[in-house]
Every structure is written in C-alpha cells, then in structure tokens.
Amino acid sequence: MFDRKGWMKVYKQYYYKKHRSSLIAYSARWNKLHPEVRALVGAKARCQNPNDHAFEGYGGRGIKFRLSLKDLLDNIGSRPSKRFSLDRINNNGHYEVGNIRWATHKEQQNNRRNSKCYS
C-alpha cells in the first residue's frame, strides 16, 4: 500500500535540503520588501490566486484587485506604523481607490461581515 504521508515527508525533507539556500534567500527578499508592497502582493493573491488560502473569501466572492503601488501611495500614503495593515472600507467592495485605508487590528475586527453592533 502506498503511504502518501510518509512519501510527502521524505519529499519535503529532500526538497528543503536541495533548495534550502534559495528558500532562505526568498524569505529574506520577502522580508526586505517595503510593507506597502507586501500588503499589495497579499491582497492581489487573495483576489486572483485560486491556490491562496483566503481566495474563497475574496476572489471567490467576486472581490477584484484594482490597485497599483502608485495608487496606494498617492491616495492613502505609506503605512503609518507596524500596527496598521491594508483594509477595505466596504467589505463587499473591491480593492480600489476610495475603498482602502490603513487600519489597526481592532478597526479591522469591527469592519467584518459578521460583526454586530450593539447599542
């Protein structure tokens, strides 16, 4: 019988040993990118890459990515601090000019589809 889990474990170990230097270089390059670029790359992947873990909640719902780095910097500027990340003002809207902002984690948690407002 074919042991898929065991085979994948061996393959991953082999792949990591063979490509270790390129994987480390890739992660180092990723960490050196400006935070604005990382935010755009992540948002674009969520909207356009069906293999992304969050595609179903973004691209799968019809959310489009319509931004460039120039649009981002011209409209909302660079990220104020490490506490902020890219957020859509209208969760059913696209990543586009007029619907993006830098928001804290708390602001983003309050701007969810399933958040309830109690008064």
Among 9-13, 14-18, 46-50, 110-114, top mean pLDDT goes to 46-50
Average pLDDT over residues 40-54: 89
DSSP 78-108: S-SSTT-EEEESSTTS-B-TTSEEEE-HHHH
Average pLDDT over residues 9-26: 56
pLDDT band at 37 (very low <50, low <70, confident <90, very high): confident
Report yes or no on whether pTM surpasses 0.75: no
Position 111 scores a pLDDT of: 83
Q: What is the pLDDT of residues 66-112, one digit of tens each?
A: 988 888 888 898 889 999 999 999 989 999 999 999 999 999 988 87
Position 2 scores a pLDDT of: 44
**At residue 9, does pLDDT exceed 70?**
no
Task: Please give the angle made by the CA atoms of 68, 58 and 107, to the nearest 5 degrees.
Answer: 80
Judge contact between 89 and 111, C-beta under 8 A: yes
